[in-house]
Amino acid sequence: MHLCLGAPGAPLTNQEESYAAQLLVTILGGGSSSRLFQEIRDERGLAYSVYAYANGYRDAGLVAVYAGTSPGQLHSVLQLMLAELEAVRRDGVRPDELRRARNQLKGNLMLGLESTSSRAAWLGRSELLLGRILTLDEMLGRIDAVTDDDLAAFAGRLVPVRLGVAAVGPLDDSGLAREIEDLQLQAGTA
């Protein structure tokens, strides 16, 4: 099963929320030290692939969490995804998590600008979507400016009413299809 939990994110024009979204997905699913990777893959062995991502556009954005899991683990994986989003909203993040996510995001940003093609894409995207070129120092400063409270507030916008659930896989079992429908209802009203 391919499971994706998604919500409207932050548009690029809202720089504060855009960087909060990037840091949130880094903390939730941005690598092997992320919350979801640790909980879903390492601790429980419920999925091989689990990650989170955020995309921003001029007037809209997307935040999503993905896991590849077996049909029998679908419910458990989704409940863990929802629990981690709720935990960030309710409890915030630890200072070491925020520091690690900042460093990872800044490192990825700087490494991503090393190739000519990625730098050109970044310059074009910035000019087209924002009407100006963001400097590297400006972006690094905005990453550093995101606080634990900013992350909790952004997570609070996602949980509970703005979430959508999609699953792709062997849905020929009517019981499994019904379970996915139930999970979608829970995600929308949890």
Q: CATH no. for residue 64?
A: 3.30.830.10
Looking at the 3D structure of the chain, how many domains does it have? 1
Residue 117 confidence (pLDDT) above 80? yes
Q: What is the mean pLDDT of residues 63-78?
A: 90
Mean pLDDT for the stretch of residues 26-47: 93
∠ CA 65-69-73 to the nearest 5 degrees? 105
pLDDT, tens only, 138-178: 999 999 999 999 988 888 887 656 678 888 887 655 555 66
**pLDDT over threshold 60, residue 134:** yes
Q: Which residues contact 172 (CB under 8 A, 6 or more apart)?
A: none
Burial of 115 (0-12, 13-18, 19+ CB in 10 A): exposed
Residue 89: domain span: 2-93+148-189
| pLDDT confidence tier of residue 183, bands split at 50, 70 and 90 | low
Does residue 152 lie in a domain region?
A: yes
Q: Is residue 108 part of a domain?
A: no
62, part of any domain: yes
- 118 found inside a domain: no
Report residue 181 as tokens.
Answer: 């429908």
Residue 99 lies in a domain: no
On the question of pLDDT at 42 being above 50, the answer is yes
What is the model's pTM? 0.85
Whether 8 maps to a domain, the answer reads yes
Q: Phi-psi region for residue 45, left (φ > 0), alpha (ψ -120 to 50) or beta?
A: left
Mean pLDDT of 110-137: 89
Predicted confidence at residue 180, as pLDDT, reads 59
Among 2-16, 128-142, 164-178, name the one with the lowest average pLDDT.
164-178
Q: Give a yes or no: residue 139 inside a domain.
A: no
Whether 133 is covered by a domain: the verdict is no
